[in-house]
Structure 1
């Protein structure tokens, strides 16, 4: 019988066991949940046509997954032409905390991660909290789940994607909000977006390189004006967005570039080819 130790297991894992077959967890209403997401998805798919490099592709996907309420995502190719990939070659992109990636790599979690391992066996997306119903977890895997939950993720969505050449990939989207759920229609939209992102990545011949810096189009605009010596308030006026939004974008740029000041951000951005002055 499935059971949950409330003192040890994370909320999202316990919630999945409590729900049981055929029982839906309480839905959380996201901002703008009454509106259709077909607009953002349609614009995203249209934008893919003009993408020709992996950095731009993942920057667009990062913007999209946030629209659906996800805080972080990971994209990994698990099998290429039916050959299993090692972790250092499988990882394409992630924006989870760097400390977690370091722990994940050092502890060889890729080999025991139950969600990643289960993903190729599923034909459709599933919530992380459902993993205890899809497979029997070992004590080692339960320890992994507890370690990961300490980083603040309350729920997530696992999305398996495939292509005709035997390549199997995985998108993991993490949410930090309690009782996170999407409508079935929105889950389907996420699945479509992940599948098309994967196919586009293969089409443009993206290299298996986990270290590239990915900035969204808006973050690149902010970084460009930082390099021009503009203050946050001036940038807000130029881009016609709020000061608060600019502050958030600047912090995100700093975090992704691994810098703590505007001069270093500009230099790193130019050096990495992210902007041209």
Structure 2
């Protein structure tokens, strides 16, 4: 079995340990920061963009479960109501996959106010960022944003790993919330080949690469992954992986 990515082994161990039973968002968030810091992204914000938001602590910004961005930046952001013009927030609802903050200006014709938010965030120490939209049932949308204070970090290289970590942490948070979208009460049995494919997805491998490793065709890999997604009622590989990890299916 390959080693998990983005602190996945650490996260999986934690989730199955007594610490998970503490039902503490603070402990979970500390682990999330620890895992993302290993990838060079020690600043994290996790929250909901829809009304059906998870339980949050009152001292944090609205619609956020928790955030450890620099306090001066959080205060400035709130005072100037940057959430209304933040291009990261505004573009999250338009995305179906994780995206880099650095690419927003190239992909969209940002307004001066939007550029100001990005530039001031960099000045505050958020040099590079990755945002992962987390889509749930009934139109629910949550988000995890990772930011780095390092000039030379490569967010594109870390993208798949942070994506996997975001989904894993999201499901763990959801399980301790009063109304959990993340709990899977179904009795699901994955085949050994489906498990093998998901383990290599966890390593960031493409269908073609997994096919070479397992000595099967790319179409066969896609077949097994689609079966796993169907069984776990998900519409993406990363979401499927996260749901399989939580109950220990892989």
Of 39, 53, 56, the match for 1:68: 39
Matched, 1:91 2:64: yes
Matched, 1:189 2:156: no
> By how many angstroms is 1:147 displaced?
1.8
* Structure 1 alignment gaps of length 5 or more: 1-35, 208-277
* Counterpart secondary structure, 1:152: coil
1:40 matched residue in structure 2: 7
Q: C-alpha offsets along residues 45-103 of structure 1, whole Å, 9 cap, x if unaligned?
A: 23123412211110110110101111311112111349xxxx94301111111111111
The C-alpha deviation readout for 1:121-142, integer Å capped at 9, x for no partner, is 2122111110012322111111
Please give the root-mean-square deviation of Cα atoms over the aligned residues, in Å.
2.6
44-53 vs 110-119, greater mean Cα deviation: 44-53
For residue 27 of structure 2, the aligned residue among 41, 51, 56 is 56
Distance 1:41 1:108 in 2: 35
2:88 equivalent in structure 1: 115
Which is higher, the Rg of structure 1 or of structure 2?
Answer: 1
- Retained in 1: the 8 A contact 2:7–2:165? no
In the alignment, does 2:45 pair up with 1:78? no
Unaligned runs of 5+ in 2: 54-59, 180-250
1:154 to 120, 127, 131: 127
TM-score norm. by structure 2 comes to: 0.60
The structure 2 residue matched to 1:198, chosen from 170, 189, 200, is: 170
Whole-Å Cα distance in 1 between the matches of residues 166 and 7 of structure 2?
14
